[in-house]
């Protein structure tokens, strides 16, 4: 039996009196790319905060490969790679120093870390920027470094929070293609929070979050057929207006 890379069950979270997430439940199947969609303020970033244990849920469970994030955070987090919406690189360190720091935080052996850093830099065509300070890189390169960093410890589940925001079309396409190839070739599962329709493909699974609740989920193509909307853009607008 395949274990769900991510299982979210009855998750709720409040900021004081404001309920940011209300009884959110969903699961992600192995080696799939799932789009997490929703308008600004729908609860996507809060959900990411909970999935990465930056926040603690009021109620509900999060399981990463059957490891409960609240009870066994270490085992759960070592399967996770995360790219946050806000850049989390240390601007004063070089690309390699940032990657080394992350590898150390994952407890990786230095020799293995060196080898993995070379592999990831090569994969993202960053070899010649390895010793540049992050401050000297443009947004596109910084994003590449962040994704390379998230993959360094070979996680089985990748969480991307608006990872392509602020990037030019070409870089976005490159990252999009690359992330999908990770699902196919390496069996990595991806939860991708985005508000860019271009990041979503018809065969993707999507979860539509609105006002802290899951309003729709399923394969994009099926949702589109059921809604009778002509295209993805219209479908998302429809979901945003009325849910499913």
Partner 1 sequence: MNPSAYINCFQGILYRELYRFVQQRSRFISALVRPLLWLVVFAAGFRAALGISIIPPYQTYITYEVYITPGLVGIILLFNGMQSSLSMVVDREMGSMRVLLTSPMPRAFLLICKLISIALISAIQAYVFLLIAYFFGVEPPIVGYLYLLPALIMAGLMLASLGLFISSLVEQLENFAGIMNFVIFPMFFLSSALYPLWKMREANEWLYQICLFNPFTYAVELLRFALYATTNLKALLIVGITTLVFVGAAVAGYNPRTGLLGRKSKPG
Residues near partner 1, by CB under 8 A = 15-16, 18, 20, 40-41, 43-46, 49, 52-56, 73-78, 80, 82, 84, 86-93, 97, 100-110, 113, 149
Neighbours of 181 (CB within 10 A): 11
Q: To the nearest whole angstrom, how small is the minimum distance from the Cβ of residue 225 to partner 1?
A: 32
Measured from the CB of residue 106, what is the shortest distance to partner 1 in angstroms?
7
Partners of 159 in the beta sheet? 82, 191
Q: CB 62 → partner 1: shortest distance, Å?
A: 12
Contacts 24+ apart (CB under 8 A), 74-81: 77/52, 77/53, 78/106, 78/153, 78/155, 79/5, 79/155, 79/156, 79/157, 80/51, 80/52, 80/155, 80/157, 80/158, 80/159, 81/150, 81/151, 81/152, 81/153, 81/155, 81/157, 81/158, 81/159
Rank residues 95 and 235 by Cβ distance to partner 1 and give the closer one: 95
Give whichever of 82 and 188 is closer to partner 1, judged by the CB atom. 82
C-beta of 5 vs 224, nearer to partner 1: 5
Min separation Cβ 193 and partner 1, Å: 11
CB nearer to partner 1: pick between 174 and 196 = 196
């Amino acid at each position: 039996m395949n274990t769900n890379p991510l299982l979210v069950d009855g998750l709720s979270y409040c900021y004081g009196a404001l309920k940011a997430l209300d009884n959110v439940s969903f699961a992600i199947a192995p080696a799939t790319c799932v789009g997490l969609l929703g308008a600004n303020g729908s609860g996507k970033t809060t959900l990411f905060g909970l999935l990465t244990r930056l926040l603690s849920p009021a109620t509900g469970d999060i399981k990463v490969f059957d490891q409960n994030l609240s009870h066994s955070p270490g085992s759960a987090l070592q399967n996770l790679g995360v790219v946050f919406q806000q850049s989390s690189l240390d601007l004063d360190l070089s690309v390699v120093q940032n990657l080394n720091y992350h590898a150390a935080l994952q407890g990786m052996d230095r020799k293995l870390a060196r080898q993995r850093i070379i592999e990831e830099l090569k994969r993202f065509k960053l070899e010649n920027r390895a010793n540049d300070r992050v401050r000297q890189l443009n947004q596109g390169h910084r994003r590449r470094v962040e994704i390379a960093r998230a993959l360094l410890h070979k996680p089985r589940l990748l969480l991307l929070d608006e990872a392509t925001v602020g990037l030019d079309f070409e870089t976005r396409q490159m990252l999009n293609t690359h992330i999908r190839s990770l699902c196919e070739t390496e069996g990595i599962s991806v939860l991708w929070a985005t508000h860019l329709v271009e990041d979503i493909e018809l065969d993707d699974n999507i979860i539509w979050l609105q006002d802290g609740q899951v309003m729709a989920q399923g394969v994009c193509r099926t949702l589109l057929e059921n809604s009778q909307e002509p295209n993805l853009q219209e479908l998302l607008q429809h979901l945003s207006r009325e849910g499913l």
